[in-house]
């Protein structure tokens, strides 16, 4: 891990807007993309969703094209060997009963022709794994740059599934709060550039990352946070960092009772419980395969602006290990940031970003 690897944000499309500035404004003003949607749930029930209402056609294709268009404008000149890694849990669900990822590569090629397109579908940790994989490719010298696209769209399929698990909130998403009662599904597409060349725009350094499986249950989080602890330890080892180096944690925080409890235990075990932390699910909802990329983009914005954004929806400690949840917007020098994610299949992933000195 000797050569520097840079990450910069290229585009972000969610219910909060389609520019990074719009997202900064929303985060600064505590605006959430979540609304109650009548009849969106199973048997016409009302459920909260963070849905981009401008979209009328196929949600996945529209999100993907809009974000690619913006990325192409932000980064018109690609030189050197380029790959694109798409991170998504469900792809284009409307292609069922066929292959839900069948058209993804050709849509990417409309904007970035002649790039190698890879797809990672590893539940809610896909985004963090995709960026780790992009860095692995750069370390191996196979590519000069990788565009990582995180995307998932709202669908009946996933809403009904989360309803069947009783995992959805009936109002809004309150990560780590005492009264949290489930997650809220969201949609979005975010694109970052992972590169060995220093980009012209603001970029941070990728210092290392890893994943670890809980080896415990396919849908329930580990009671001990074992997988998350192991992933953070491995990421610390690979990046040469330790708990006391971390200025901010962008946590997963889905706002289900068990997930947030698990994360609090893991952060406690790693002596990270005093580090300022947020979950961004209160703004975006849970965007599944897009979540890691979206949250990394906003972490890069945090680092650029030296701003800690509040954990929207949090009022009162609701985990057995109290964490340092960010409640008010605050200026702070952010040099080293830890990003974590956990998901179905027992997966956990993490990575470390550092400001260029």
Partner 1 sequence: MKILAHSYVCPKGTFLNGKLVYNTAGEENPLKSAYQQLGAEYPKFYKMDVLSKMAFIGTELLLPFFPKDADLENDLQLIFANSSASQNTDNLFVESYEQLKNPSPSLFVYTLPNIVTGELCIRHKWYGENCFFIEETFNPAHFSEWAQMALNKGNNCCLCAWIEAKTNGEQECFLFLLTDSEKEAYSMELELSTLIKQYRNE
Partner 2 sequence: MSDLKENLKAQIIEQLNLEDLTPADIQDDAPLFGDQGLGLDSIDALEFIVLLDSNYGIKISDPNEGKEIFQSVNTLADYISKHQ
Tell how far CA 259 is from the center of its chain: 16
- C-alpha distances in angstroms, 286 versus 51, 121, 350? 11, 16, 17
User: Which residues are CB-contacts of 65 (< 8 A; sequence separation ≥ 6)?
Assistant: 107, 110, 111
Residue numbers 127-166 binding partner 2 by CB under 8 A = 164-166
The one segment of 161-169, 253-261, 275-283, 301-309 that binds partner 1 by CB under 8 A: 161-169
Report if residue 119 touches partner 1, rule: CB under 8 A: yes
Q: What is the DSSP letter of 198?
A: P
- Out of partner 1, partner 2, none, what residue 122 binds, judged by CB under 5 to 8 A for its kind, is partner 1
Toward partner 1, which CB reaches closer, 25 or 99?
99
CA–CA gap between residue 52 and residue 34 (Å, rounded): 10
- Conformational region of residue 172, where left means phi above 0, alpha means psi within -120 to 50, and beta covers everything else: beta
CA–CA gap between residue 340 and residue 221 (Å, rounded): 14
141, two tokens: 């010298």
CB of 341 to partner 2, least distance (A): 22
Residue numbers 127-146 binding partner 1 by CB under 8 A = 129, 133, 136-137, 139-140, 142
Toward partner 2, which CB reaches closer, 163 or 327?
163
Toward partner 2, which CB reaches closer, 142 or 217?
217
The one segment of 29-37, 169-177, 210-218, 249-257 that binds partner 1 by CB under 8 A: 210-218
CB of 256 to partner 2, least distance (A): 12
Q: Which residues bind partner 1 (CB under 8 A)?
A: 42, 89-91, 96-101, 118-123, 129, 133, 136-137, 139-140, 142, 156-157, 160-161, 163-165, 210-219, 226-227, 230, 238, 344-347
């Amino acid at each position: 891990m000797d050569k520097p690897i840079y990450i910069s944000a290229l585009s972000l499309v969610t219910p909060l807007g389609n520019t990074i500035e719009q997202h900064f404004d929303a985060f600064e003003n505590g605006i959430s993309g979540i609304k109650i949607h009548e009849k969106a749930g199973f048997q016409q029930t009302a459920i909260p969703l963070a849905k981009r209402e401008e979209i009328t056609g196929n949600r996945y294709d529209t999100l993907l094209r809009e974000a690619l268009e913006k990325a192409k404008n932000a980064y018109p000149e690609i030189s050197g060997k380029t790959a694109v890694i798409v991170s998504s849990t469900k792809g284009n669900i409307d292609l069922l009963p066929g292959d839900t990822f069948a058209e993804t590569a050709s849509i990417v090629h409309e904007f970035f022709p002649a790039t190698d397109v890879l797809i990672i579908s590893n539940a809610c940790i896909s985004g963090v794994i995709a960026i780790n994989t992009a860095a692995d490719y750069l370390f191996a010298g196979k590519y000069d740059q990788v565009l990582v696209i995180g995307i998932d769209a709202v669908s009946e399929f996933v809403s009904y599934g989360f309803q069947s698990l009783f995992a959805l909130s009936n109002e809004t998403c309150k990560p780590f709060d005492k009264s949290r009662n489930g997650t809220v599904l969201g949609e979005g597409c975010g694109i970052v550039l992972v590169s060995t060349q220093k980009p012209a725009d603001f970029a941070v350094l990728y210092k290392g990352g890893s994943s670890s499986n809980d080896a415990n249950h396919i849908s329930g989080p580990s009671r001990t946070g074992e997988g998350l602890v192991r992933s953070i330890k491995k990421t610390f080892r690979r990046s040469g960092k330790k708990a006391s180096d971390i200025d901010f944690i962008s946590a997963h925080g889905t706002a289900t009772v068990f997930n947030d409890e698990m994360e609090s235990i893991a952060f406690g075990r790693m002596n990270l419980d005093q580090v300022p932390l947020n979950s961004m699910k209160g703004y975006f909802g849970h965007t599944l395969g897009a979540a890691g990329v979206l949250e990394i983009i906003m972490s890069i914005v945090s680092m650029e602006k030296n701003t800690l954004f509040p954990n929207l929806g949090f009022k009162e400690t609701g985990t057995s290990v109290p964490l340092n949840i960010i409640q008010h917007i605050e200026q702070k020098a952010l040099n080293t940031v830890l990003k974590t994610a956990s998901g179905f299949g027992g997966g956990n992933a993490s990575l470390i970003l550092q400001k260029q000195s």
